Amino acid sequence: MHFKARLPLAALTVALIVSPLANAAPPAQTPPMGWNSWNFFAEKVTDKDIRAAADQLVSTGMKDAGYIYVNIDDTWEAERDASGVLHTNSKFPDMKALADYVHSKGLKIGIYSGPGNKTCGGYAASLGHEEQDAKMYAEWGIDYLKYDLCSFIPDVMEKQEPNDKAAQMKLMIDAYTKMGKALQATGRPIVFSLCQYGWDSPWEWAPAIGGNSWRSTGDISPDWDRIYTILEQQAGLEKYAGPGHWNDPDMLEVGNGKLTLEENRAHFSMWAMLASPLLAGNDLPNMKPEIKEILTNKDVVAIDQDTLGKQASRVYADGEDEVWVRHLSGGALAIAVLAAGDSRYSTHPFHLDLEKLGLHGPQKGKNLWTGKEVTLTQNMPIEITSHDVLLVRVANPK
């Protein structure tokens, strides 16, 4: 009797020692946050840059704000040896040591590959080596994989099914399924980030194959037109996002290129409204204070990370102004009024129609960029600079 009672406890203890990760919560219950090397460094990224990024995430307070993943994008790869093992190139002399370093800072590390023979940058990718690569990532301690379609299109889709688009898409889904299974088989919780530019509605099939996020568009660039074009493509996708599986309108360009302060703020606000992964892509060692202020605005980050996991909907547009609404836990509401167009005057002052948002009477809220309390009233005139945003959280909408 005594022995029997103790057995399950002993078995449980053994299970926990042998497989500490088996019981870990599934990843990406809120949109993944971190930094990725591509938008600033592109193919030039090195081990040193990744270490510096990890150091900077800690010293700037970004880690405390929630930026946990340090993701190496394309161009870390060398060639495979006779046993099929993929080696790192001279820019990344020791991936395990790099992962250990990133982990020692209390951060997580991500890597990049693709289902074809080559990555988008022309480096070796995972075709035919999916299990082997996934196992190696787990041995290194990798926590996040971005898996980028690129050469799978000519290597496999167009070669095997030159005249059948549906069959091509099936091959693509099978390839992502294969890597999803290989990652799961490692027993390590690794965020699986699909990058296939939104082809064939990945939001419909990616969650079922273990995808934690899927790119919903082509590549972002640091200019307002591109950012706005991507934003427009997100309207209607809100029903597909939720804890563990997110639409990904691509990584942040906040602080990059010639984006103005207003554009940086609006881009960040809207990505938070979209429950998007927040992967900063800027030059962290040279980050300007105003950019740090944007990326670490705790109220805006909290919108993105809201545990209800409901992505914003575009409720209405008036001229060049758009009103997006996101339902938050506890019955709260985030309202974003975006002055998307170039002309400051076409619809200004903008009159906010609360009735269209299902709200009746004055609404008390907080302006998340000034930190001040505001009361929104029916048809109130609002002045917003071109490419800027008014972002308000209403705790008790009526």
Which residues participate in catalysis according to the annotation? 148, 219
Nearest to 37 by CA among 68, 74, 65: 74
Nearer to ligand GLA, 124 or 340 (CB): 124
CB of 116 or CB of 210, closer to ligand GLA: 116
Report the nearest approach of ligand GLA to the CB of residue 101 (Å): 23
Two structure tokens written together for 50:
């990744």
The three-point CA angle 194-278-241 to 5° equals 55
Characterize the bridge pairing of strands 246-248 and 213-215: parallel
By Cβ distance, which residue is nearest to ligand GLA?
120
Q: Could you tell me the smallest distance in angstroms from the CB atom of residue 77 to ligand GLA?
A: 11
User: What's the min distance (Å) between Cβ of 111 and ligand GLA?
Assistant: 11
For residues 71 and 269, which CB has a smaller minimum distance to ligand GLA in the complex? 71
Residue 60 or 119: the one with the smaller Cβ distance to ligand GLA is: 119
| Torsion on CA atoms 192, 198, 203, 206, rounded to nearest 10 | -40
| Greatest pairwise CA separation for the chain in angstroms | 82
Q: How many helices (H) and strands (E) does the chain have?
A: 14, 18
Of residues 122 and 243, the one with the C-beta less far from ligand GLA: 122
Residue 40 Cβ vs ligand GLA, minimum distance, rounded to whole Å:
12
Residues 2-37 as b/e (b if ≥16 CB within 10 A, e otherwise) read eeeeeeeeeeeeeeeeeeeeeeeeebbebbbbbbbb
Task: Give the Cα separation of 89 and 44 in Å (integer).
Answer: 12
Give yes or no for a cis peptide into 349 (omega within 30° of 0). Answer: yes
Interface residues with ligand GLA (CB under 6 A) are: 38, 73-74, 119-121, 148, 195, 219
Task: State in angstroms the smallest separation of the CB of 126 from ligand GLA.
Answer: 14
